[in-house]
Chain A
């Protein structure tokens, strides 16, 4: 499979379960060390563990929405943890910059009012916004969205669509989005591809 994405482009990836969509994301983030082939991100070939750390420092990854864990954690802390490995880890504590960037991302995502709220008590739409904020707090160049609308109702989907459009323009992001929803993908993305068994089956033109 050969696939390239332009800087600033919004690419949507469609495909059935098991088509290799999430594997593609894992390959980009070098979470598959035995991978054959070449992955290049922002001009750098991703091969060694150091390349892996570098690509993960450039990327924000939003996994599929999930049930909150058992740990009580505030929205602010959950989002700030996204900075791990960027400026704090192990004995290093979060800096003032970590806190400032967390606050500004919470603001952009409309979450400032619920900074101290326990993540376990959030609605599906709010949890999704927290996951996106957690990815954005890394100040990424690339945003990887893995089925961001799976558990959302229609109004939350619409809100998310607007939000992603806004942050993409504001932060000049390259966006890759996995989706099952072809209509949604065609509406949001610049380009849409459909994967089947690890191969690009079809390239679709986006509505926009």
Chain B
């Protein structure tokens, strides 16, 4: 089957549009994660979602709802928790990550929650998206773009020199907490839609590649967005052409871009 023939199927059309929109917008969150050193926090949020899913199943509710609520609560709490206790976000992230996974396993054991049902929350598929999922991705992408457009200079200040930002009157902690919440919200929505593996590929890899090649925050954001689109859409097409698993192919395209950028910087 040729590529043009794939585009005649609504399922593929939705997948392609989702890849372009999610790749172009979710990748912007990676810049925040890297700049504010939130990599551990992002992992922690995934584990908090796992705990939420387990709690959902244990109380007879929809596990996805449990996971979503947990991730929203976690992303609202993690920032203030770190700043109030003056803890590094890495330490807070490790605390929530290990605590959540331990509690989740206790629930698996004591409440007889089937672990595989919970882990299935992390295996979304871009080729199984419904029209509702596509609207959710559009809404999420729009929120990300609006927030970044409104807060561009403030983000530039917070990333460049948080001390100066603070004395100029920029609400540094509120902006950091807001961006963390947006990241959590995005992971929560995108996790089920595209799967956990793909979230990482979309969030972190384009931003890491762009950061090595750019000379300003605007360039980083634009390049991250373009690379995110190229990674997701390119990986989707390649997976179709060569009959490969979609998530893994998209991730490998992202890794290839990152590898090439490292090579380019060394030359």
In the bound assembly, the distance between CA atoms of A61 and B167 in angstroms comes to 8
Per-position 1/0 for B200-244, Cβ under 8 A of A: 000000000001001111011000000000000000000000000
Binds B, one of A88-96, A158-166, A183-191: A88-96
Count, A-B residue pairs, CB within 8 A = 72
B153 touches A71 (CB 8 A): no
Tell yes or no: A198 within 8 A of B by CB. no
Partner of B153 from the list A56, A70, A84 (CB cut-off 8 Å) is: A84
- Rounded to whole angstroms, the CA-CA distance of A199 and B153 in the bound complex is 39
Q: Are B153 and A89 in contact (CB under 8 A)?
A: yes
Cβ distance A63 to chain B, nearest Cβ, rounded Å: 6
Binds B, one of A73-81, A100-108, A174-182: A73-81
The segment out of B7-15, B61-69, B114-122, B158-166 that lies at the interface is: B158-166
Scoring B163, B167, B215 by chain A CB atoms within 10 A of each residue's CB, the highest score goes to: B167
Asked if A9 is an interface residue, CB under 8 A from chain B, the answer is no
Contact with B along A45-62 (1 / 0, CB 8 A): 000000011001000010
Nearest neighbor of B161 in chain A, beta-carbon distance = A69
Counting contact residues on chain B (CB < 8 A from A), the size range is 20 to 34
- Whether the pair B216, A31 counts as a contact (CB closer than 8 A) is no
Is B154 at the interface (CB under 8 A from chain A)?
Answer: yes
The answer on a CB contact under 8 Å between B160 and A71 is yes
Chain A interfacial residues counted at CB < 8 A: 28
B252 at interface (Cβ–Cβ under 8 A)? no
Is B160 touching A69 in the complex (CB atoms < 8 A)?
yes
Contact of A74 among B149, B150, B216 (CB under 8 A): B216
B159: chain A residues at CB < 8 Å are 69-71
Which of B156, B163, B166, B219 has the most CB atoms of chain A within a 10 A radius of its CB?
B156
With A73-B156, A73-B217, A90-B154 already in contact, the answer to whether A84 and B170 are too (CB < 8 A) is yes
Counting CB contacts under 8 A, is B136 at the interface?
no
Is the C-beta of B131 less than 8 angstroms from some C-beta in chain A? Answer: no
Give 3 closest A-B pairs by Cβ, nearest first.
A71-B159, A71-B160, A72-B215
Can you give 6 A-B contacts (C-beta < 8 A)?
A66-B163, A70-B159, A72-B217, A73-B156, A78-B160, A89-B154
